[in-house]
Structure 1
Amino acid sequence: MTLDDLRVFVAVCRAGSLSAVARDLACTQSAVSQHVKRLERETGVSLLERHARGVVPTEAGRVLQTAASEGIAGLDQALRRLRDLVDGEDGVVRVATGATTVRHFMSEAVVAFRQQHPGVSLEFRTESSSRACFDALAGSDLDLAWITLGPPVRGIEQRPVVDLPWVLALRADDPLASRPYVEPAELRAVRLIRLPPHSTSAACLDAACADLGVRLAFDTSVADWDTALLLAELGLGRAIVPALPGHAVPGDDGPLRLVPVRALRPLSVGWAVRRWDALTPLARAFADTVVDSCRRNAPAL
């Protein structure tokens, strides 16, 4: 059993496909299969179940996947810290983010960090959701992930940075645009643009509405917050979205208006890491710079 065997096995479990991992590693599917077979011979148990659409770990496979993921992540982070000790200020900080995260939450911090640490490389990996960010963080050499806070995830620490109040995005000529605020109950009969399906932010909005006994209706769905704002600006619907840093609330310029939605529990966003006390000094410095920037520019209703 080698470290490469375990890395390949974890990658196969995450991708659900031997061929996909073979493409990523630029090797043959047979070579990937040999890594898994070697682990199965040494453990004496079947680790994968093969189906028409790919593979999934068996119960034993899930046990090994969890342990291997945590061990590999810890080893990678230790190796990173050793390299940073050798390289000094010429290190790398690797961050997983959503599609629009850097622009809304990190643009000011990236500039400030680069001025303070000109020799450090920043690498951003775009993921489609907070869940994907968790998976990337657990199975790679990433330092940090920016996420919408949700339920606990094994092997991951979540740290809130800023709470985002909810606003109703609509065109300036909409009858509701001149209101100082709206109540969630007023939106029961309004057809809305839905936040990304199955996303943590959509689940948090549903839960916040359920707390108030309100059920919303939707006729359109989008892949990210920016698309919801764009459709609202074009007059193609209304959207309940989190108030983002840098957006005036209520909005008073241009065709878009942002009207506060009262009484809804805000959306918490922040950092996820494997272990805060194991972060490299450079990764911690970047995380702290983002925290300072977000809290300074946090939207207020």
Structure 2
Amino acid sequence: MTFDDLRIFVAVCRAGSLSAVARELSCTQSAVSQHVKRLERHTGVRLLERRPRGVVPTPEGRVLQAAATEGIAGLDLALHRLGELARGEAGSVRVTTGATTVRHFMADAIVAFRRHHPGVSLEFRTETTSRNCFDALTDGAVDLAWVTIGGPVPGIEQRPVVELPWVLAVRADDPLALGPGITAADLVGIRHIRLPENSSSRAHLDTAFARLGIHLTSDTGVADWDTAILLAELGIGHAIVPALPGQDSAGTSGGPLTFLPLPDLPPLPVGWAVRRWGALTPLARAFADTVGRQCAQGPAAP
């Protein structure tokens, strides 16, 4: 049994496919299968069960998957730290985020953190979904992930930092912007600009609408909140997005866009996800705490 055997086995469990892992590693499916078979010979149990559309771990396989995932992440972190020490580096903090996270939630915190830790390497990795962020954590590729907080994820600890109320982004000359206020029922019939189908924020919004008995139709979709806001400003439709830090949610800026509060919708919790808070490096914890403090204080004055 080798380290590569365990790493490939974990990858197969996550992908649910031998061929997918083979493509990712640029090797043959037979080579991937040999790694799994070697583990099965060593443990004396069957680790994978074949299904019509791939493979899933057996109960015994899930036990090994959990232990191997934990061990690989810890070893990767140790090797990363040893590499820093060998190169004489002061250390690093590796963060995975969505496309708009750094600008909206971390800009002031990065400046403050850099002022106190000038020699630390900051590495940012952009992912499109919380699921991809969780995978990056599990793989040991990052220390921290900024995500929409949702249900429990095995092997991941989540900590909310801020709750974002929902707003409707519309042009200032839109009839909806001229009324005294807006309720969820007023959203029926809007030209809805939908958020990404596989995003946590979209799932949160869909759940809220299902509970309210509201169904929205849409012919326009986007990959992130900023694009939805831009399309609303262009008059393409109406965007339901979280009220981001620094955003003129009261709609008093006099610009072409107005953000109308939607108090009927439960706020969207966002914050940090890690493998284990107790295992974070002091630098990673310091960065997470700095972002938390900045979010609590709000954006710096221009």
Q: TM-score range by the shorter chain?
A: 0.7 to 0.9
Q: Give the TM-score normalised by the residue count of structure 1.
A: 0.87
Q: Give the TM-score normalised by the residue count of structure 2.
A: 0.87
* Mapped pair 1:226 → 2:222: no
* CA distances 1:113-156 after superposition (whole Å, capped 9, x unpaired): 22222211112222221122112212224211111000111221
Change (3 A) 1:73 1:109: same
Which residue of structure 2 aligns with residue 282 of structure 1?
A: 283
Supply the AA of the counterpart residue of 1:216.
H
Which residue of structure 1 aligns with residue 184 of structure 2?
A: 184
Give how far 1:214 is off. 3.6
Which residue of structure 2 aligns with residue 269 of structure 1?
A: 270
Which residue of structure 2 aligns with residue 66 of structure 1?
A: 66
Percentage of identical aligned residues: 69
2:102 & 2:19 partners in 1: Cα distance?
32
C-alpha RMSD of the superposition: 2.6
1:253 & 1:29 partners in 2: Cα distance?
60
Supply the AA of the counterpart residue of 2:222.
V
2:181 & 2:15 partners in 1: Cα distance?
45
Which residue of structure 2 aligns with residue 244 of structure 1?
A: 244
In terms of mean alpha carbon deviation, does 150-159 or 40-49 score higher?
Answer: 40-49
Give how far 1:21 is off. 3.7
In terms of mean alpha carbon deviation, does 187-196 or 140-149 score higher?
Answer: 187-196
1:151 & 1:88 partners in 2: Cα distance?
40
Which residue of structure 1 aligns with residue 292 of structure 2?
A: 291
* Aligned-partner SS, 1:46: coil
* CA distances 1:42-63 after superposition (whole Å, capped 9, x unpaired): 1233333557865544444333
Work out whether residues 77 and 140 of structure 2, in 8 Å CA contact, stay in contact via their aligned partners in 1: no
Change (3 A) 1:124 1:21: farther
1:292 & 1:181 partners in 2: Cα distance?
32
1:207 & 1:116 partners in 2: Cα distance?
42
Work out whether residues 81 and 280 of structure 1, in 8 Å CA contact, stay in contact via their aligned partners in 2: no
In terms of mean alpha carbon deviation, does 86-95 or 127-136 score higher?
Answer: 86-95
Which residue of structure 2 aligns with residue 112 of structure 1?
A: 112
* Aligned-partner SS, 2:192: strand
Which residue of structure 1 aligns with residue 214 of structure 2?
A: 215
Supply the AA of the counterpart residue of 2:271.
G
1:189 & 1:242 partners in 2: Cα distance?
20
Give how far 1:159 is off. 0.5
Work out whether residues 187 and 216 of structure 1, in 8 Å CA contact, stay in contact via their aligned partners in 2: no
1:264 & 1:63 partners in 2: Cα distance?
40
* Aligned-partner SS, 2:182: coil
* CA distances 1:134-192 after superposition (whole Å, capped 9, x unpaired): 12212224211111000111221111101101000111221112345311122123341
Work out whether residues 11 and 139 of structure 1, in 8 Å CA contact, stay in contact via their aligned partners in 2: no
